[in-house]
Structure 1
């Protein structure tokens, strides 16, 4: 008798499953198709992105070779092409290299490109800071101290990633402008920062020795 009931239960379950399938089969099939399509699309996207990265890497390396061959104009053009179409990482590197190559022929052109990077929030605050520092480095011999201070003062605070280099550039600019007080300000910040790199600390000490005696009192 128990076997009979088992057979009846099995038949009931089978009938229920058939009803469920008849009612929802279109949705089950659609979901399966969507899953398969999604996996296929993701695999396809990964393949396309991998190809883009490989092409960008090859183009970037060719631009580097032109730079190493002392062909700044050609290298600048090649980096500009990478910056225009490559994935984000290569695009960012190419923009920095493009600016450096431009500066080799025309400092103003290099400053302009670094300033564009500094103003681009999409690249992140640390890269913006680096761009500001690179632009200031090109201007330190020619721009007034007030201009350098406007560009870099925000980069000298305690948690700024490139504060050591920014302070050194401002000290050098102030020294060139014969502003011993301002030079002393930045040199003191360098001396008092326990994380100042040894090489920079040595250069700061040498610059301090060049200050007039009145500035040391």
Structure 2
């Protein structure tokens, strides 16, 4: 019996040796690649967290400068942040905050530059859209109508499409193009939820143009 078991064990051992000889190299490389990918993933996550922590510290500097109405300090901190950690969310947030402080301190050119950077480099579309809307507003105030419309052209995240239409309406109205302004205001009005407070302002703009929206039929009446 012992001999029979020894023979079976030897046969199994030979099979294992044969299998390993045939596939061992492939298995080894697969294991190495899996471990390397796992190590790389952990390393990437660590790097991302490290970047976020450092970017957060610089954002705090921008925030403190904003609270102290120190436009120059806010700009320096923002420039440092965007140069070191441009792909972080904090960079876009800092750019929007710095632009507000700069605008409040009558540093319009620096505010436009900050908003333009966020518009072009924000890692999240929502921040880029906010920057484009605010930048278009500054350009509208400065009567740079063509530049304002350029910033509002192209695709926008769906939740910002109505606001972009409203801002385009403002630009066209400032240029005296009432038909174009009306068309954009109508897009904005239709694109906003009926419960949105801002929709009332768009309605007022249409009313001022003599094109007040028709009263909407309540859903309960439509279903009857």
**TM-score, scaled to structure 1:** 0.69
Aligned CA distance change for structure 1 residues 193 and 35 (closer, same or farther; 3 Å) = closer
Residue number in structure 2 paired with 1:200: 198
Structure 2: state its 5+ residue gaps: 213-224
1:6 aligns with 2:5: yes
Q: 2:55–2:88: 8 Å Cα contact kept in structure 1? A: no
Cα distance in 2 for residues equivalent to 1:10 and 1:167: 79
Cα distance in 1 for residues equivalent to 2:98 and 2:51: 20
Q: 1:75–1:98: 8 Å Cα contact kept in structure 2? A: yes
What is the total number of aligned residue pairs between the two structures? Answer: 210
Instruction: Give the number of the structure whose residues are more often helix, by fraction.
Output: 1
The DSSP-based 3-state class of the residue aligned with 1:110 is: helix
**Residue pairs, 1:45-56, within 5 angstroms:** 46-56=45-55
Q: Deviations over 1:142-194 (max 9, x none)?
A: 225444334325468xx743122222223333333443333322233233346
Cα distance in 1 for residues equivalent to 2:94 and 2:55: 10
Cα offset, 1:71, TM superposition: 1.6
Give 1 or 2 for the bigger CA radius of gyration.
Answer: 1
The DSSP-based 3-state class of the residue aligned with 2:159 is: coil
1:186 aligns with 2:184: yes
Aligned CA distance change for structure 1 residues 62 and 142 (closer, same or farther; 3 Å) = closer
Aligned CA distance change for structure 1 residues 143 and 38 (closer, same or farther; 3 Å) = same
The DSSP-based 3-state class of the residue aligned with 1:143 is: coil
Cα distance in 1 for residues equivalent to 2:176 and 2:3: 107
Q: 1:167–1:190: 8 Å Cα contact kept in structure 2? A: yes
Structure 1: state its 5+ residue gaps: none
